[in-house]
């Protein structure tokens, strides 16, 4: 197969949602239909010790939530599918934002009972800013939930998406009979639990057919006919080009826990979803079909296998072919590197690969050379855009609880900060270390991982801060004056950049007014 055909074979997408909408369960079932796994994990059940394939960290298995993005690849209908399952919890939104830079499209999962939730709104906003194509999957149809049209109205209103149902439910909860696939004009009957059998799919191209009444009953059949008529009159016809440009979002209904509606979603997705798209750098646009290899690191994960203390950088390939044991330029360090065991992923399961193509995500073993946002190329100097660190909103002093483990603590903090789990600031006035996070749950994760992965124990101490802002100033004298007057509020981040720690909104406003030449930034990407 030639290079261009390999690119066209790839579909790289992320799955996003509010916590508990069923995102990780949907990921499992997509893998199941793709033949990548033989049995799905029980994501929540404590009685069953099997856990979701995509939740591989010990703390994820204990809490039943995803706290890190996991990457899974599998083959389906001669296509290479790469799924990035992201954390739903808002405290890990930063990991999700960065992951969205590495995908070409997304599937948004919405709970039929709860509708559009706040975290979903934030994530979809990031997708809209990038014009990422979005498919919506309304989940948990086997439970009582809200009316389908009400949900579509809410999606259009709260998420600012133009929607077009490509499947429609027949009943809900106790009355749930199945879905009618408008895209393929087929009726899929609901059988709770177990893999969907082929005989449960009946082709009905004409809804006035008596076969529909026979399969679902006269009342349900008439209701379906009325609702499909409304869909065809009210919603725009499906247009793949509008979907690819981010202007139209197909909607599917189903029940991921029951494997229901998932195959229809997957079959339609592989037909309409984009293959790898161009990526923008500060220098130019990078096209996937270019001969020269280029890619960027969007995630770093330490101790994926605690037995080996390994640290892996996740590299999204943007152009050209990546080959094992080939010298590539690490742009930030301006030095050549080669990788003897690049890996492909199935969550925590890894296998060494010889080559990879645009759209693929490759794991590179890392001894501390990489930071999030780093670029690898065949020699050209490129800097990929849109992979920021956000200004933290929660802060704690971090104190070493075991003086004998100082080295372990320093190493653990350095590696976890490189992952982008949180940010570490060192106060200029007394050298005390402050951890800043987007959400409070990250403090628990850091404490847990420091103890279980590095053998270091920490205690937190509250610190009253409103915001951390990166500062820069073209006027050297003005910067010196600012640093002198605000010495008590200054710190440095892990890369040695100046950060202003504002105790309140008023303190930040005063600093901005008193030092007009100093620029205050709320992301590290400036």
Cα separation, 411 vs 399, whole angstroms: 14
**182 inside domain:** no
Question: What CATH code is carried by the domain that includes residue 58?
Answer: 3.40.50.300
pLDDT classification of 206: cutoffs 50, 70, 90: confident
Q: Which residues of 310-332 are buried (b: 16+ CB within 10 A; e: fewer)?
A: bbbbbbbbbbbbbeeeeebbbbb
Closest CA to 433 of 503, 492, 517: 492
Query: Taking Cα atoms as reference points, which of 394, 440, 388 lies closest to residue 126?
Result: 388
Work out the average pLDDT over 79-105.
Answer: 71
Percent of the chain residues past pLDDT 70, beyond the cut: 84
In 160-259, where does DSSP find H-type helix?
210-216, 218-234, 240-244
Instruction: Select from 315, 418, 320 the least CA-distant residue to 363.
Output: 315
Position 294 pLDDT exceeds 90: yes
With bands split at pLDDT 50, 70 and 90, how would you rate the model's confidence at 154? very high
The pair of three-digit structure tokens given for residue 300, joined into one six-digit string: 């770093």
Please give the pLDDT value at position 118: 78
Higher-confidence residue: 516 or 352?
Answer: 516
Place of tokens 């899974």: 72
The answer, yes or no, to whether residue 65 has pLDDT greater than 50, is: no
Give the pLDDT confidence score for residue 392 in this predicted structure. 77
CB burial string 370-395: b at 16+ within 10 A, e below = bbbbbbbbbebebebebbbbbbbebb
354-366 pLDDT, tens digit per residue, is 899 999 988 888 8
Of 399 and 205, more confident: 399
Tell me the pairing of strands 134-139 and 249-253.
parallel
Least confidently predicted of 204-208, 290-294, 303-307, 363-367: 303-307
Smallest CA-to-CA distance from 62 within 75, 51, 76 is with 51
Residue 370: inside a domain, yes or no?
A: yes
> Is pLDDT larger for residue 260 or for residue 251?
251
Residues facing 186 on adjacent strands: 181, 203
346 & 421 share domain: no
131 and 264 assigned to the same domain? yes
Q: What own/partner pairs with CB < 8 Å and gap ≥ 24 does 168-173 have?
A: 168/224, 168/227, 168/228, 168/231, 168/253, 169/141, 169/253, 170/216, 170/220, 170/223, 170/224, 171/220, 171/223, 172/112, 172/141, 172/143, 172/144, 172/145, 173/141, 173/142, 173/143, 173/144, 173/145
Mean pLDDT of the residues in the chain: 81
CA atoms within 13 A on the CB side of 426: 11
β-strand pairing of 328-330 with 375-377: antiparallel
Q: Give alpha helix (H) positions in 306-388.
A: none
Q: What domain range is 59 assigned to? A: 3-173+236-272
Give the mean pLDDT of 439-464. 85
Closest C-alpha among 370, 356, 364 to residue 317: 356
- Domain-terminating residue out of 342, 377, 412: 377
pLDDT tops 80 at residue 59:
no
Which band of pLDDT confidence, cut at 50, 70 and 90, is reported for residue 477?
A: very high
Give one DSSP letter per residue of 253-309, joined into a string. E-BGGGTBSHHHHHHHHHHHS--PPPEEBSS-EE-TT-SS-EEEEEEEEE-SSTTTT
425, 347: one domain: no
Q: Are residues 155 and 241 in the same domain?
A: yes
129 with 261, same domain?
A: yes
Residue with tokens 């209701």: 223
pLDDT tens-digit series, residues 158-172: 999 999 999 898 888
Q: Are residues 128 and 253 in the same domain?
A: yes
| Confidence label for 321 from pLDDT (cuts 50, 70 and 90) | very high
pLDDT interval class at 310 (50, 70, 90) = low
In a domain, 224, yes or no: no
Let me know whether 14 and 83 are in one domain: yes
213 or 386: which leads in pLDDT: 213
Whether pLDDT at 135 is above 90: yes
Residue 369 phi, psi (nearest 5):
-85, -25
Residue 7, Cβ density class (10 Å: 0-12 exposed, 13-18 middle, ≥19 buried): buried
* Whole-number CA gyration radius for the chain: 25
- Picking from 43-47, 122-126, 328-332, which range would have the lowest pLDDT averaged per residue? 43-47
The count of domains in the chain is 3
Q: What is the reported pLDDT for 251?
A: 94
Sign, CA torsion 370/375/377/382: negative
Q: Are 358 and 11 in contact (CB under 8 A)?
A: no
In a domain, 215, yes or no: no
Summarised one tens digit per residue, pLDDT across range 336-349 is: 999 988 888 654 45
Cβ 167 vs Cβ 182: under 8 Å: yes
């Amino acid at each position: 197969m030639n290079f261009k055909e390999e690119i066209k074979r790839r579909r790289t997408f992320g799955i996003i949602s509010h916590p508990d909408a069923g995102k990780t369960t949907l990921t499992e079932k997509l893998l199941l239909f793709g033949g990548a796994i033989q049995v799905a994990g029980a994501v929540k059940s404590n009685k069953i010790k099997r856990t979701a394939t995509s939740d591989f960290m010990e703390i994820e298995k204990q809490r039943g939530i995803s706290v890190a993005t996991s990457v899974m690849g599998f083959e389906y209908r001669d296509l290479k599918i790469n799924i990035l399952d992201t954390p739903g919890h808002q405290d890990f939104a930063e990991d999700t934002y960065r992951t969205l830079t590495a995908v070409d499209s997304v599937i948004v999962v919405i709970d039929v009972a709860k509708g559009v939730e706040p975290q979903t709104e934030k994530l979809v906003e990031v997708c809209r800013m990038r014009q990422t194509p979005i498919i919506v999957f309304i989940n948990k149809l086997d439970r009582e939930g809200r009316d389908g049209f009400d949900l579509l109205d809410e999606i259009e209103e709260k998420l600012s998406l133009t929607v077009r149902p490509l499947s429609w439910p027949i009943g809900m909860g106790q009355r749930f009979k199945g879905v009618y696939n408008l895209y393929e004009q087929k009726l899929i009957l609901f059988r709770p639990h177990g893999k969907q059998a082929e005989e449960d799919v009946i082709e009905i191209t004409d809804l006035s057919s008596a076969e529909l009444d026979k399969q679902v009953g006269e009342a349900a059949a008439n209701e379906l006919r009325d609702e499909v008529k409304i869909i065809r009159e009210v919603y725009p016809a499906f247009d793949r080009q509008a979907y690819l440009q981010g202007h139209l979002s197909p909607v599917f209904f189903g029940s991921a826990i029951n494997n229901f509606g998932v195959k229809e979603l997957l079959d339609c997705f592989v037909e309409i979803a984009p293959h790898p798209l161009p990526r923008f750098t500060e220098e130019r646009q990078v096209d996937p079909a270019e001969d020269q290899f280029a890619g960027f690191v969007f995630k770093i994960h330490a101790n994926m296998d605690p037995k080996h203390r390994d640290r892996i950088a996740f590299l999204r390939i943007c152009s050209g072919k990546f080959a094992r044991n080939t010298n590539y330029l690490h742009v930030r360090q301006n030095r050549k590197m080669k990788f003897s065991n690049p890996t492909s992923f199935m969550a925590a399961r890894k296998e060494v690969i010889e080559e990879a193509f645009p759209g693929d995500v490759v794991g590179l073993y890392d001894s501390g050379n990489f930071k999030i946002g780093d670029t690898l190329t065949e020699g050209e100097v490129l800097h990929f855009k849109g992979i920021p660190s956000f200004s933290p909103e929660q802060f704690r002093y971090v104190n070493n609880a075991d003086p004998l483990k100082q080295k372990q603590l320093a190493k653990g903090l350095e590696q976890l900060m490189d992952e982008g789990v949180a940010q570490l600031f060192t106060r200029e006035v007394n050298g005390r270390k402050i951890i800043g996070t987007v959400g409070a749950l990250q403090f628990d994760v850091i404490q847990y991982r420091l103890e279980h992965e590095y053998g270091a124990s920490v205690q937190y101490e509250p610190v009253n801060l409103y915001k951390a802002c990166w500062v820069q100033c073209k006027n050297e004298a003005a910067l010196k004056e600012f640093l002198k007057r605000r010495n008590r509020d200054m710190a440095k981040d892990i890369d040695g950049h100046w950060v202003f720690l504002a105790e309140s909104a008023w303190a930040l406003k005063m600093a901005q007014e008193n030092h007009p030449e100093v620029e205050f930034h709320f992301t590290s990407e400036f």
